Amino acid sequence: MDNGDGIAVGWLGNPVFRDKEGRELFVRRMPTFLEKFPVVLVDEEGIVRADVPFRRAESKYSVEQVGVTVEFYGGELNGVSYSDPATVKKYARRSQLGEIFELDRATLKSDGVFRSSPRGWFTFGHATFALLFFFGHIWHGARTLFRDVFAGIDPDLDAQVEFGTFQKVGDPTTRKQAV
């Protein structure tokens, strides 16, 4: 986090977004592993009420058209309200990732790129290989236990090819009589 975002210095607060009608809007969280995701604000029923689109020409619910405002509760911006579209968009983008923190980027020369630490790659690599080896052992164990099934041999075929049971091997009509 430090290399990508910077050092967390302070918490700005919980942002609450509202449209002109006073409906509370919630920013849809960005899915993991995506770096570009449109900012979508939905109401409590999950209906899209506002957005920050990739292209303005396609916008039907832009922050400017809908008149979205943001107010903060708690944190450094407690009680502060913004109605300027550029500021509202800035805080909507930042709230896609969760809580909004004030970050010190200068100390560590952070550039805002998402990265994984060596510990993260170590964990990912070991988990991947552990699962690979685990399922490999399951696969090869199943191959050994069910060797005849994988080869296409019927389990009832053993009696027909047993040495000495038939005069002709595999011919059930030539069964020898027990003396």
According to the model, what pLDDT value does residue 86 have? 94
The alpha carbon of residue 22 and the mean position of all alpha carbons in its chain are separated, in whole angstroms, by 33
Which phi and psi angles does 166 have, rounded to 5°? -120, 150
| Joined tokens for residue 29 | 């969280």
According to the model, what pLDDT value does residue 164 have? 66
> What's the pTM value of the predicted model, to 2 decimals?
0.59
| Joined tokens for residue 156 | 């009832």
Whether the Cβ atoms of residue 19 and residue 50 lie closer than 8 Å to each other: yes
| Joined tokens for residue 176 | 């020898």
Domain ranges, ordered by start, for the chain: 7-104, 146-179
Segment 115-140, tens digit of pLDDT: 677 888 899 999 999 999 999 999 99
What secondary structure letter does DSSP report for 29?
Answer: P
CATH architecture of the domain with residue range 7-104: Roll (3.10)
Which phi and psi angles does 131 have, rounded to 5°? -65, -40
According to the model, what pLDDT value does residue 30 have? 74
Q: Give dist(CA 145, CA 152) in Å, integer.
A: 14
According to the model, what pLDDT value does residue 161 have? 63
Q: Give dist(CA 66, CA 92) in Å, integer.
A: 14
Q: Which residues pair with 62 in a beta bridge?
A: 51
Angle at CA of residue 97, ends 68 and 70, nearest 5°? 20
Segment 24-64, tens digit of pLDDT: 999 988 765 566 678 899 999 999 999 988 777 777 889 99
Segment 1-20, tens digit of pLDDT: 555 677 889 999 999 999 99
Segment 160-174, tens digit of pLDDT: 666 667 777 667 777
Answer yes or no: is pLDDT of 148 > 90: no
Segment 66-111, tens digit of pLDDT: 999 999 999 999 999 999 999 999 999 888 878 898 888 888 887 7
